[in-house]
Amino acid sequence: MDAPAALELPVVFRHHAFCCFQQRPPGHPRGSCSGLGAGPLWERLSGQLQAKGLADASLVATGCLGFCGAGPLMVVYPAGVWYQPRTPADIDEIVQSHFVEGKPVERLIVVLKG
């Protein structure tokens, strides 16, 4: 049997922002990022990426990222940086500093304990 042909994909995105869109009912013991105000933040992120013409950055809607109490959460790859934005200004700072300038926003980084 022949080996499958290698598939070469173009490098399209410099940044992938995986953003939790998980929605659980009010009062659910785990909570959810949407319940903690994620929706307007992700709308802001999408708008900022478009406004700045960042075609090399992608917003990916995800389900639960596993740390519900810390939400809203997003993780940016390939750097693997976890962010906990709380305000539209936080989103603007992440876009400008991380996506445009290549510098993570230290004050918004969430450190996962192993």
Adjacent-strand bridge partners of 77: 16
Q: What is the DSSP letter of 93?
A: H
Closest CA to 74 of 43, 104, 109: 109
The encoded tokens of residue 50 equal: 């478009």
The encoded tokens of residue 35 equal: 């319940």
* Residue that wins the pLDDT comparison between 55 and 3: 55
Q: How confident is the model at residue 28 (pLDDT cuts 50, 70, 90)?
A: confident
Q: How confident is the model at residue 10 (pLDDT cuts 50, 70, 90)?
A: low
**Residue partners of 18: CB distance under 8 A and separation at least 6:** 60, 62, 65, 74, 75, 76, 77
pLDDT (tens digit, 9 = 90+) per residue, 43-97?
999 999 999 999 999 999 999 988 877 889 999 999 999 999 999 999 999 999 9
Domain boundaries, the chain: 15-108
CB-based contact 17:45 (threshold 8 Å): yes
> With 80 as the cut, is the pLDDT of residue 22 above it?
yes
Domain 15-108 sits in which CATH superfamily? Glutaredoxin (3.40.30.10)
pTM, to two decimals: 0.86
